[in-house]
């Protein structure tokens, strides 16, 4: 059976090929012309089909992309929520640090005014100490003069 198929295929290929039809005049001229026209149309269909195949592949690719689009959108929404949360946390941290800086500025201003007040008090005490020292020196001289 297999041998018969091989022989049948060989006969078909050799007997009914375009070359044998043209050279052996196996078909009338009007049929031959019609067969050539049909062959040309088949060749045109093959090129059109290859274009269609490319278009089908493009459509399938677009369809796969469209199917995965909801997952991509969900990922983007999740990323947006995470980003919003991070931005809010950052803003909260910035406000916290601003408050801490304000408190530090208040403390620095208080410490500055305290140090200025202490400096003025020290100057006053130093002036009094100088006055007491001069007064004591004067009294010591008077005592020395009185003892002599």
State how far the Cα of 89 lies from the Cα of 7, in Å rounded to an integer: 83
The more confidently predicted of residues 73 and 7 is: 73
Give me the pLDDT at residue 16, please.
60
Are 21 and 27 in contact by the 8 Å Cβ rule? The answer is: yes
Give residue-wise pLDDT tens across range 88-142. 999 999 999 999 999 999 999 999 999 999 999 999 999 999 999 999 898 889 8
Please report how many Cα atoms fall inside a 13 Å half-sphere around the Cα of residue 107, on the Cβ side: 6
Give residue-wise pLDDT tens across range 4-60. 677 666 665 555 666 666 665 666 778 778 878 887 887 787 777 777 888 889 999
Give me the pLDDT at residue 25, please.
64
Total-model pTM: 0.47
The more confidently predicted of residues 86 and 9 is: 86
State how far the Cα of 22 lies from the Cα of 19, in Å rounded to an integer: 5
Q: Is the pLDDT confidence value at 83 over 80? A: yes
State how far the Cα of 123 lies from the Cα of 78, in Å rounded to an integer: 67
CB proximity list for 15: less than 8 A, separation 6 or greater: 26
Give me the pLDDT at residue 99, please.
97
Give me the pLDDT at residue 10, please.
64
Give me the pLDDT at residue 103, please.
97
Q: Is 111 exposed, middle or buried (0-12, 13-18, 19+ CB in 10 A)?
A: exposed
Domain boundaries, the chain: 2-106
């Amino acid at each position: 059976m297999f041998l018969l198929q091989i022989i049948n295929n060989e006969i078909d290929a050799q007997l009914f090929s375009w070359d044998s039809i043209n050279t052996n005049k196996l078909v009338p001229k009007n049929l031959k012309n019609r067969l050539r026209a049909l062959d040309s149309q088949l060749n045109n269909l093959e090129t059109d089909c290859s274009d269609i195949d490319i278009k089908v592949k493009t459509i399938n690719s677009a369809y796969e992309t469209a199917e995965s689009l909801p997952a991509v959108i969900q990922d983007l929404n999740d990323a947006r929520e995470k980003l919003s949360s991070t931005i809010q946390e950052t803003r909260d941290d910035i406000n916290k640090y601003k408050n801490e800086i304000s408190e530090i500025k208040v403390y620095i201003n208080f410490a500055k005014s305290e140090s200025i007040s202490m400096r003025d008090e020290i100057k006053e005490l130093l002036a009094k100490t100088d006055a007491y020292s001069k007064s004591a020196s004067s009294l010591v001289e008077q005592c020395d003069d009185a003892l002599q």
